[in-house]
Amino acid sequence: MPDGSAEALANVTSVPVIDALRASAYRIPTDAPEADGTFAWDATTLVLVELDAGGLTGLGL
């Protein structure tokens, strides 16, 4: 589906049922403190999402 417009949605004949949704969060420390002039940090947080629908699994970060 190219976008969420009414025209695009009208072409959808079926939408798979979501069977499962899993989310995990990971804190990844940096080697040394980092900063961009407005904020400083010592770790990055990664959020991983897995979704099962229509016999397929999707992965998002």
pTM reported for the whole predicted model: 0.64
Predicted local distance difference test score (pLDDT) of residue 1: 43
Pick the CATH number of 16-60 from 3.30.40.230, 3.20.20.450, 3.20.20.70, 3.30.390.10: 3.30.390.10
Q: Map out the domains of the chain as residue ranges.
A: 16-60
Predicted local distance difference test score (pLDDT) of residue 13: 72
- Output the tens digit of pLDDT for each of the chain's 61 residues: 456 677 766 776 788 899 999 999 999 999 999 999 999 999 999 999 999 999 999 999 9
Predicted local distance difference test score (pLDDT) of residue 2: 54
Do 17 and 25 form a contact (C-beta atoms < 8 A)? no
Residues 6 or more apart whose CB falls under 8 angstroms from that of 51 comprise 18, 20, 21, 22, 57, 58, 60
Predicted local distance difference test score (pLDDT) of residue 15: 82
